[in-house]
């Protein structure tokens, strides 16, 4: 990417609405911590992609999170796996650094987002890692089929656990919402 080429940013209307609602309802300041954690996460992806010679050209904020688009043809499956891992790793490094500095709320938010992103669900980094690892070991078709099954089962489990938490401890609404969105996206694709 030369100096005149810049990565573009796009915000979906659903993300804008959800972010506004969360911001308005956030009495503890978690939203700002999540923004910092997400920015460090995406920076990890960006720097790794650039190091591998890939050109990120779009960062889109969607209801399910941020999605970075890049010229995928330049990456081997091994490099794709490392680029997917770089975001959660950057988030984990932030979590440990924040804990060391006494910023426990930032540490907790960053740790939670990083671990969540490592779930083997398509659309999350864990799903990309699973696909890249399987594609290195077998063919693309088989890797896609296995990822679809794992994604569907994981998203359904997240939804069921969230519903159980809502029934028994009156908590878990975010887990229900995340599971439902990921499951619907899986079914749609």
Distance from C-alpha of 175 to C-alpha of 45, rounded to nearest angstrom:
25
Tell me the whole-structure pTM to 2 decimals: 0.85
Predicted pLDDT at 3: 46
DSSP structural state of residue 113: H
Distance from C-alpha of 19 to C-alpha of 32, rounded to nearest angstrom:
11
Distance from C-alpha of 123 to C-alpha of 47, rounded to nearest angstrom:
20
Q: Give me the phi and psi of 172, to 5 degrees please.
A: 105, 10
Mean pLDDT per segment of 10 residues, for the chain of length 189 residues? Answer: 71 90 86 94 95 91 86 85 97 98 96 94 92 95 94 90 85 79 75
């Amino acid at each position: 990417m030369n100096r005149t080429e810049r990565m573009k940013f796009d915000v979906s209307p659903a993300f804008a609405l959800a972010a506004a609602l969360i911001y308005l309802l956030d009495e503890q300041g978690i939203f700002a911590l999540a923004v910092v954690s997400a920015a460090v996460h995406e920076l990890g992806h960006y720097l790794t992609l650039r190091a591998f010679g890939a050109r990120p050209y779009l960062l889109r904020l969607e209801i399910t999170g941020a999605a970075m688009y890049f010229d995928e043809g330049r990456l081997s499956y091994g490099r794709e796996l490392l680029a997917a891992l770089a975001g959660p790793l950057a988030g984990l490094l932030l979590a440990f650094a924040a804990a060391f500095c006494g910023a426990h709320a930032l540490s907790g938010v960053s740790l939670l987002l990083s671990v969540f992103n490592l779930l083997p669900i398509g659309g999350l980094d864990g799903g990309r890692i699973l696909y890249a690892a399987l594609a290195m070991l077998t063919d693309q078709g088989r890797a896609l089929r296995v990822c679809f099954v794992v994604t569907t089962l994981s998203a359904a489990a997240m939804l069921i656990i969230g519903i159980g938490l809502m029934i028994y401890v009156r908590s878990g609404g975010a887990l229900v919402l995340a599971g439902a969105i990921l499951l619907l996206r899986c079914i749609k694709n």
